[in-house]
Structures are given as C-alpha cells and as structure tokens.
Amino acid sequence: MTAVQHRVREAPRVSKLVRWLIVGALSLLFLYPLVWLVAASLKRRGDVFDNSLVPAVFQPQNYVEAFNQLPLLAWIGNSLLIAILAAGFVTLSSSIVAFGFAYFRFPGRNILFGLVLATMMLPGAVTLVPQYLIWNGVGLVGTSVPLWGMNLFGSAFYIFLQRQFFLGLPRELFEAARMDGVGYFGLFWRIAMPLSIPSFIIVFIFEFQASWNNLQGALVYLNFGASETFTVPLGIASAMTRFSPTNGGHGDYQYVMVAALIVTVPMLLLFAFGQRYILDGVATQARKG
C-alpha cells in the first residue's frame, strides 16, 4: 500500500474521530447543568452553591425532607392536571381549525390563514392585560381555568403545523368518502385524524412542556391563594423566596434543588417517549419544504 493510499484511508477515520470528540464535548456541556443539579440536591445547606460536582457530604435524606418542607405532590398534581387539559384542548381545537384550512376551498381562505399566522407576531405581553381583564371579569382569576381555558380556541403555530400534515394527505381519500356519504366531521374524525397521529402527538408534547414550565401564567392567575394551589414553577419560585435569608429563611436551597430535579423527570420521560414522533415530524415538514 502506498503512502498516498494510506493517507486516503486514514482521512475518514480522523474526520469521524473529530466529529465524535465535538459531539462528546457538546454533550458534556449540555449535561453539566443537570449533573450540577443532581449534586446540589445531595449537599448540605451551606454547600449548595459551591459548584462542586461531588458533594463533600452526601445527604440523600434531602429527598425525604423536601416532601416534608414543601407540598411537592400538590404542585405536581396541579401542574399535571393543567398540562393535560391545556395540551389536550389545544391539540383538538387547533386540529379542527387546521383541517378546515386544509380541506375547504372558499374565497379569502389564504387571507384568513395569513391573519391567523399574523397573531404569532404579537408578543405575549401585548395580550396579557386584555386576557387578564377577561378572566377577571368572569371571576376566574385565582383558579387554574385561565391556564388551560385559553387553549380551547387553538394556537396559530399548532394550526399551521397540523395544516401542513393535513395538506400532505391524498385528497382523493376525502372525495371518495364524501361520495360514500361521510359528513365533514366524519372526514376529520375517521380519515384525517387517524392518518395524522404523529402531528397530534407532537402538538400535545410541545404544549404539555410549555404548560408545565409556564411560570408567568401561574404568577398572574394563581398567586392569590394557598401554596397548595400553586403549579410546579410557581411553587419552586415561592420556595426560593421562602428559604431566602433576606426573608427570614435559613438558606435551605437544597430542598429547592430536590424539587427542581424531581419535576424535571416528567419532561425527560416525555421526550424519551415522543422523540421519534418529533424527529419524524421535523423530517416530514422538511421534505414538504
């Protein structure tokens, strides 16, 4: 084997090794916050923020004590209920609107769809006050209803996403079903929905994650009652204030770290379950261009 042939064969191996080193370095970079959180949850009170990834003294009892110090089960239950309702309602309502834009042909359809997409340009701060006034007017401020009730009317981003899926379905299927006497809702329920399950799962996962991490909404609508009514983000934020020495606390932030780690687990499990659908959905949209 000549020297030139040897270098040609070695080049792909070196390139592959470099790629693996880069991926490994980036993986460690992104995993560092999670590893730090795990370590902090096992430390003593005064060692939480020492930036060491190995606790000087392991305190696994922090996990037991955290449930005694904080109503974690209530927070998780509240967040779980709200996230399921919010994700379920927005998935169904957005898909119905998306099917209408994908299937029906009517004058001004593109203009109307453009107006729907234009609402994505509105910052959340612009609509925050009007939404609050509406919910306050019907007497629901202080309850969890505003955190999922707004999803009854769909979301522009999810409407766009699911419309793209529906447009990829063969129109002949719907025309044949119409000839067999299937109604418009039957077209959606019996044809479009079963063939677009990945889009429903993607929307549900996205909205579940967004609702689970929604601190602003909980702060606006739930910050009026007992701590047992809080969601996970609001509960952790209130715990940070409660344990702060400036507010009479003793700096027991290790319990906050335990709570933050525990409530991260559902999101990791959700992504592990739905990553295949997310990647398939992204690939599908890329192919449609």
The predicted model scores a pTM of 0.85
Structural domain span for residue 12: 3-41
Q: Are residues 34 and 119 both part of a single domain?
A: no
Residue 55 lies in a domain: no
Q: Are residues 77 and 192 both part of a single domain?
A: yes
| Residue closest to 232 by CA, chosen among 59, 125, 81, 131 | 81
Q: Are residues 132 and 209 both part of a single domain?
A: yes
Q: Are residues 136 and 24 both part of a single domain?
A: no
Domain count of the fold of the chain:
2
Q: Residue 202's domain is classified under what CATH number?
A: 1.10.3720.10
Q: Are residues 34 and 71 both part of a single domain?
A: no
For residue 286, the model assigns a pLDDT of: 47
Residue 48 lies in a domain: no
Percent of the chain exceeding pLDDT 70 equals: 91
Q: Are residues 10 and 110 both part of a single domain?
A: no
Q: Are residues 163 and 109 both part of a single domain?
A: yes
Residue 49 lies in a domain: no
For residue 87, the model assigns a pLDDT of: 95
For residue 285, the model assigns a pLDDT of: 52
Mean pLDDT by 10 residues, the chain (289 residues): 53 75 86 90 88 87 92 93 95 94 90 92 87 92 91 91 89 89 89 89 92 91 81 91 84 91 87 74 53
Q: Are residues 21 and 133 both part of a single domain?
A: no
Residue 171 lies in a domain: yes
Q: Are residues 169 and 32 both part of a single domain?
A: no
For residue 82, the model assigns a pLDDT of: 95
Q: Are residues 139 and 31 both part of a single domain?
A: no
Q: Are residues 32 and 120 both part of a single domain?
A: no
Q: Are residues 36 and 90 both part of a single domain?
A: no
Residue 172 lies in a domain: yes
Torsional class of 248: left (φ above 0), alpha (ψ -120 to 50), beta (otherwise)? left
> What's the 3-state SS for the chain?
CCHHHHHHHHHHHHHHHHHHHHHHHHHHHHHHHHHHHHHHHCCCHHHCCCCCCCCCCCCCCHHHHHHHHCCHHHHHHHHHHHHHHHHHHHHHHHHHHHHHHHHCCCCCHHHHHHHHHHHHHCCHHHHHHHHHHHHHHCCCECECHHHHHHHHHCCHHHHHHHHHHHHCCCHHHHHHHHHCCCCHHHHHHHHHHHHCHHHHHHHHHHHHHHHHCCHHHHHHHCCCCCHHHCCHHHHHHHHHHHHCHHHCCCCCHHHHHHHHHHHHHHHHHHHHHHHHHHHHHHHHHHHHC
For residue 276, the model assigns a pLDDT of: 75
Residue 225 lies in a domain: yes
**pLDDT, tens digit, 9 for 90 and up, residues 33-84:** 889 999 999 999 888 888 888 888 899 999 999 999 999 999 999 999 999 9
Residue 119 lies in a domain: yes
